[in-house]
Every structure is written in C-alpha cells, then in structure tokens.
Structure 1
Amino acid sequence: MTENLTPALATQPECIVFTDWDGTVTLQDSNDALTDNLGYGEERRKFLNQEVLHGRWTFRDAFHDMLESVDIPFPECITYLKQHVKLDPGFRTFYEWARENNIPVIIVSSGMHPIIHALLESLVGADAAAEIQIVSNNVNIDEATGRWTIVYRDDTDFGHDKSLAIKPYAEKSPRPTLFYCGDGVSDLSAARETDLLFAKEGRDLITFCEREKIPYVTFGNFGDIQQGIQEYMKKNKTE
C-alpha cells in the first residue's frame, strides 16, 4: 500500500502548522537533557552543535555521537524525561485553538517517536497524543538489556531531513498556507520550506537564518505563534 504523504489534508485545512518538538513545544530539549545529565555532558554537546551549525559535522553524526554517550536503559530515559521536561506554557491553548479552527499540527522531529509520544501523552494528554501526527526518527531497543540506539528516518546528513515531510504539502494544488516553528540545528533543513518561519528567540536557528538571509519571525512561546498565524492569515485575506 502506498504511504499517504499528506494525511493532514483530509479535512481540507486552510493552513497547516509544522513544529519541532524538543526545545520548541517543550522548554527543555529532551535529547540535550539526556546527553548533558546522563551522557558525556553539556560542554561536548554544545561544541558539536556549533560544529553542525558551521558545517564541520553533519547533524546525523553529531546526534548519534551524543546519544551513544547515554548508557542507561531506554525505559529509564523516558522516566527521567517525564520528571524533568516541561511544556511550553502556550502550547496547550495553541493546540486547542488550532483544533477548533481545523488547523492540523504536525510534529516534525529529529528525536525518537517513543519519547515524543510518551511526553506528549504526559504533558498534553492522551487525546492529543492520539491525534497529533509525529514524523520523527525511531529507536531500536534490546528487550533483554534495555540498550538502545537511534534508527534514522532517512539516509541524509540530517538523519531526518525535515523538508521531506513538508514538500508533499507544498506541491499540492490548491496549496494550504504552511507554517514552521523551530529553534535549533535540527531545523536547518526545514527553514526555507514554508510560507512563514517562526524561530525561537536566542537559539541557533536564528543564527542560521541571519547568516543565510532566511526571513523569520521570532517567538518566545506558542502564544506568540498563535498571534502571528492569526495576523498572517488576516493580512493575506485582506490582500
């Protein structure tokens, strides 16, 4: 059976919101939290992020290096993250508004599906976890030992090229208005793909956008994103 690459079009939405998960929907990046506190630490993790930002490492290799340093069973990783990762204060209200207005929200993440689903269920609720599409990497777990390794979604230098989740929607006619929300180096591949990019203040994605002259709107939380989408759609209708 051929995979449906555009399931969010089923309700004929006027616009679609793609969003990064770690550090965007959540206040803490779960993968950073694992690496910094249960792996080899913040110093090397930040060094590798800069190497990716400046093109000296691929995201795929740097991310694998970070996660390989986390030497505890996968279930314990999820337990730790549930205790330490918090939700963006505006996301729940934003998601309810989007749902009421037929605006699909799609999580496009370089993280791992079981972690995102577990945190989404814990932080937002079972209904949201069942409804929100998650496009991400996966994980291979040794059931006997709990040892695990990331399973990348594709063969690109990103491990998961987020633009590949967006392009099928951009190529449709009629085409919905597309938004993307992100914060870091994992979002570089998606930065040019939508009508409006929201980049989190003070994060690496803004550094990249400034260097590459990619237009963006800064946000602090999802309340800003909701307001930005409302203003953008109102302006487009007026024009």
Structure 2
Amino acid sequence: MSAGQEPSAPRSVLHYPPIHEDAQFVVLSDWDGTITDKDSNDYIVDNLGFGFDKRRELNLECLSGRMSFRDSFRQMLESVHHPFEECKEELKKNIKLDPGFVNFYSWCKSQNIPFVIVSSGMAPNIRGVLSTLLPGPDAENIEIIANEVEFTDPEKKGDTWEIVYRHPESGFGHDKSQAILPYRKLAHKPTLFFCGDGVSDLSAAKHADLLFAKVMANGHSDLKTFCEREKIPHVPFRDFNKVLERVKEVVEGKSVEQVLKEEGN
C-alpha cells in the first residue's frame, strides 16, 4: 500500500514511496519555515519575484479561504523570471536549518523512527539546500514527498520553468493529508507526529496524533492561528529541540493527551 492511494484521494501525477507499515512512530514534517529558518519559496518570491507585499497579500487571501493555495503559489512562482539553477543557488547560500533539526533527525535515525519531509515546495530545491547542511549521505537518503519542477525552455536547461503539482486538481496543489491518511488504514496504526507552520499544512493538520505548529521569532505562525481558530489541539514550538523533548516523552510512554494537556489544550 502506498501513500496517496486512498479511494477518494486526489489524482497524483507523481510517485509516492511505500509507507512505513511496521513503524510504531512516524514523524512527518513540512520543510519551508519549519525545518528551515525561513520559507525558501517566500525568499525567492520576495527577492527574485514580485516582492513581500504582493506575496503576503496572496498568503492572507489563501488563509481566509478566498483563494486556493495552489493558485496563489503558482502566481508567486510565475513572478520569478530567473533560471531555476540560479534560484537554487540563491537558496543554498541563504537558507539555513532550524538549530535543533540535525540533532532531532539524528535521534529519529538512532531510534529507527521514520522521518518524512512533506512539502509544497519543489524536491530539487530541498535536496539542494540539504546538500550543503546535512552530514554525509543524509541529504540524498532523507525521504521527501513534494512537488517537482519542469524546465520549459527548448533546451531544457531551466532558463524557464514551472512547478509540477503532485495533485494538480487539488486546491492544495500537494494535499499533504495524503501522506498521512494511509497510516490510518493500517491494522497497527503508528503514532503520527506532524510539524508545520503555514497554510500549505492545513490539509494535514487535522490528521496527526500530535501536531506541532512552528512559531517564528516574531511570534508569527499561520498554522498556529488556524489551529486556535478551529480549536485543533497542537504544540507550539520555536525550534526542533522542543519537538525532540515532546516526541521523546511520547516514545518513552507519556500519552499524547497528557502532552496536549500540559501544553494548554
């Protein structure tokens, strides 16, 4: 059974890896602004596209439900008129990892807990950034479920390009819930942890056993705002040291309900 193959699932045009059927715990995480210190897509649009003000306007349209994430994100990327490799190099130079992430990922590996990046960004950009920041072969081996990119220039060099959405008919573009829902069908359901920060995580937010909502240094978090509005239990976190602390507690026997109670839910 593979993720993304639910009977009512949106059509996926990209391959899904098999799910981890024998795992007792699974961690899934958004990439941009969650694992990274800033949103790489926002960075590209703000610096190489139409800029912060227009981008934030579209973010708020999406958060309010007046516009789909798929359509708003496509508009943002279409404002970027730079070759794909130039964009990727800009990200490699300017995007850093959350200060607690490498330690958390290493701990997950040591405990044989699957860790999956579930992103509405583009996989080549994610691997590019990881290639400069993760030790050894981890950048190539870490599991990523994301969108892809298509080079549209005649030479296929990436002078012009466009995003290839995993779920082109979904308003999310990539419906992240489809990476989580297949685990709910298993006879022995694992405890599912999900970490996110923004509007692209809304489809997955309701399906995790323990949801972590990233809060930026300025206190901003679209996902936290959504969870508070919709009364969705969650754990706010500033960095992955907090995630490690709480996930460890659950792995060692503390109930998810107790963790959420301690966090004020």
Superposition TM-score tier, normalisation by shorter sequence: over 0.9
Distance change >3 Å, CA 64–CA 126, structure 1 → 2: farther
Residues in 2 aligned to 1:176 and 1:58: alpha-carbon distance in whole angstroms: 31
Higher helix fraction: Structure 1 or Structure 2?
1
Unaligned ranges ≥5, structure 1: none
Distance change >3 Å, CA 207–CA 148, structure 1 → 2: same
Residues in 2 aligned to 1:51 and 1:9: alpha-carbon distance in whole angstroms: 36
Once the two structures are TM-superposed, the CA of residue 182 in structure 1 deviates from its matched residue by 0.3
Residues in 1 aligned to 2:227 and 2:73: alpha-carbon distance in whole angstroms: 21
Whether 2:247 is the aligned partner of 1:229: answer yes
Q: Counterpart of 2:149 in 1: which secondary structure?
A: strand
Q: Which moved more, 1:188-197 or 1:137-146?
A: 137-146
Which residue identity is paired with 1:98?
A: C
Residues in 2 aligned to 1:119 and 1:6: alpha-carbon distance in whole angstroms: 21
Residues matched between the structures, number: 236
Whether 2:191 is the aligned partner of 1:212: answer no
Residues in 2 aligned to 1:184 and 1:190: alpha-carbon distance in whole angstroms: 11
Which residue identity is paired with 2:163?
A: I
Q: Which moved more, 1:218-227 or 1:129-138?
A: 129-138
Which residue identity is paired with 1:132?
A: I
Which residue identity is paired with 2:62?
A: V
Q: Counterpart of 2:137 in 1: which secondary structure?
A: helix
Query: Match of 2:163?
Result: 150
Once the two structures are TM-superposed, the CA of residue 8 in structure 1 deviates from its matched residue by 4.6
TM-score normalised by the chain length of structure 2: 0.85
Q: Counterpart of 1:61 in 2: which secondary structure?
A: helix
Once the two structures are TM-superposed, the CA of residue 119 in structure 1 deviates from its matched residue by 1.1
Residues in 1 aligned to 2:17 and 2:127: alpha-carbon distance in whole angstroms: 20
Unaligned ranges ≥5, structure 2: 4-15, 259-265
Query: Match of 1:9?
Result: 20
Q: Counterpart of 1:163 in 2: which secondary structure?
A: helix
Q: What CA deviation, in whole Å up to 9, does each residue of 1:32-79 have, x standing for no partner?
A: 000000000000111111110000110000000000001000000011
Query: Match of 2:79?
Result: 69
Which residue identity is paired with 1:160?
A: H
Distance change >3 Å, CA 183–CA 219, structure 1 → 2: same
Q: Counterpart of 1:7 in 2: which secondary structure?
A: coil
Which residue identity is paired with 1:162?
A: K
Query: Match of 1:133?
Result: 143
Q: In 2, are the aligned partners of 1:8 and 1:104 still within 8 Å (CA)?
A: no
Q: In 2, are the aligned partners of 1:36 and 1:45 still within 8 Å (CA)?
A: yes
Query: Match of 1:120?
Result: 130
Which residues in structure 2 correspond to 1:10-49 (within 5 Å)? Answer: 12-49=22-59
Residues in 1 aligned to 2:90 and 2:224: alpha-carbon distance in whole angstroms: 29
Q: Counterpart of 1:168 in 2: which secondary structure?
A: helix
Which residues in structure 2 correspond to 1:49-60 (within 5 Å)? Answer: 49-60=59-70
Once the two structures are TM-superposed, the CA of residue 206 in structure 1 deviates from its matched residue by 0.6
Q: In 1, are the aligned partners of 2:88 and 2:125 still within 8 Å (CA)?
A: yes
Distance change >3 Å, CA 106–CA 144, structure 1 → 2: closer
Which residues in structure 2 correspond to 1:59-98 (within 5 Å)? Answer: 59-98=69-108
